[in-house]
């Protein structure tokens, strides 16, 4: 016991013990009734998490969300239960914005694995003026920084080839080479369609999916191998969920 603990009231100690206990329960598997279980625990201990500081309530919510993020999967039922947990903790959306952002991406990844691919509406501003191939559909758009590199500098990334599968979270262990060692070509948007990768930037370019195409995925971007040199597309988003979506989509589309 530390010196500070000697001056804590029994009520404070009880609250702290409850916080540790409820976080342990929260981080378990997300199943129907989890929010009700947490509420029952709070009632039995005479505690009301809604009265706690925001940071403490956020930590409980993040513990609950963490189990889904660790598995790399979020079902519709789990998403619904997390919403109930958020309501129980009296947290507004903007108070857990980053976690909900990551969970939304995880939900998209889960849908892709189940064969339900996202679709970008034709009214999206970045699709305006784009010349589509016959029966081509836009599935995903991500802002990118565009770079030119002569080599991968030893950072090879995860190879995505024709009719290959993507292993969950495999891109997390790979980072693009430092931006300072590449030629900066500005910014643009990468559009993943049913037939190709389409880049809208200072110069528009596209690479059709084929057995000859070699794409290399990283947690922070994508490298496209050219006959001479490489085009690097560095994701502008701050979530590793982007690489998971891109990896799963390309595995589903390159067939």
By CB neighbour count within 10 A (0-12 exposed, 13-18 middle, 19+ buried), where does 179 fall?
Answer: middle
* CB-neighbour burial class of residue 65 (10 A; exposed 0-12, middle 13-18, buried 19+): buried
pLDDT surpasses 60 at 5: no
pLDDT of residue 161 exceeding 60? yes
Q: What is the pLDDT of residue 136?
A: 98
Judged on CB neighbours under 10 Å (0-12, 13-18, 19+), 110 is buried
Q: Given a cut of 60, is residue 7 above it in pLDDT?
A: no
Q: What is the pLDDT of residues 83-136, one digit of tens each?
A: 999 999 999 999 999 899 889 989 999 999 999 999 999 999 999 999 999 999
Domain ranges of the chain: 3-113, 125-253
> Average model confidence (pLDDT) for the chain?
90
The pLDDT of residue 6 is above 50: no
3 state SS of 127: helix
Q: How is residue 42 written in tokens?
A: 């709070």
pLDDT digits (tens, 9 = 90+) for 209-230: 999 999 999 999 999 999 999 9
Higher-confidence residue: 148 or 239? Answer: 148
Q: Which CATH number fits domain 125-253: 1.10.287, 2.30.29, 3.30.70, 2.60.40?
A: 2.30.29
pTM of the predicted structure, to 2 decimals: 0.81
Residue 69, both tokens: 């993020």
Q: How many CA atoms lie within 13 A of 134 on its CB side?
A: 0
- What is residue 66's DSSP assignment? H
- 12-35, pLDDT tens digit by residue? 777 777 788 888 888 888 889 999
């Amino acid at each position: 016991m530390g010196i500070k603990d000697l001056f804590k009231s029994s009520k404070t100690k009880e609250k702290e013990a409850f916080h540790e206990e409820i976080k342990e329960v929260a981080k378990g598997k997300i199943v129907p009734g989890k929010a009700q279980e947490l509420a029952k625990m709070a009632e039995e201990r005479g505690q009301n998490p809604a009265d706690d500081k925001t940071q403490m309530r956020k930590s409980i919510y993040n513990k609950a969300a963490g189990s889904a993020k660790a598995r790399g999967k979020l079902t519709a039922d789990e998403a619904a239960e997390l919403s109930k947990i958020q309501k129980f903790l009296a947290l507004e959306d903007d108070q857990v914005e980053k976690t909900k952002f990551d969970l939304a991406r995880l939900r998209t990844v889960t849908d892709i694995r189940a064969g339900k691919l996202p679709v970008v509406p034709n009214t999206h501003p970045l699709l305006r003026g784009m010349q589509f191939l016959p029966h081509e559909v836009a599935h995903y758009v991500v802002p990118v920084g565009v770079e030119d590199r002569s080599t991968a500098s030893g950072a090879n990334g995860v190879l995505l080839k024709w009719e290959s599968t993507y292993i969950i979270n495999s891109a997390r262990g790979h980072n693009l080479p430092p931006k300072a060692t590449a030629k900066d070509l500005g910014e643009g948007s990468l559009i993943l369609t049913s037939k190709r990768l389409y880049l809208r930037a200072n110069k528009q370019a596209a690479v059709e999916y084929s057995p000859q195409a070699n794409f290399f995925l990283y947690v922070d971007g994508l490298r496209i191998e050219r006959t001479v040199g490489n085009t690097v597309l560095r994701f502008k988003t701050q979530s590793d969920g982007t690489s998971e979506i891109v990896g799963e989509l390309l595995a589903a589309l390159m067939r």
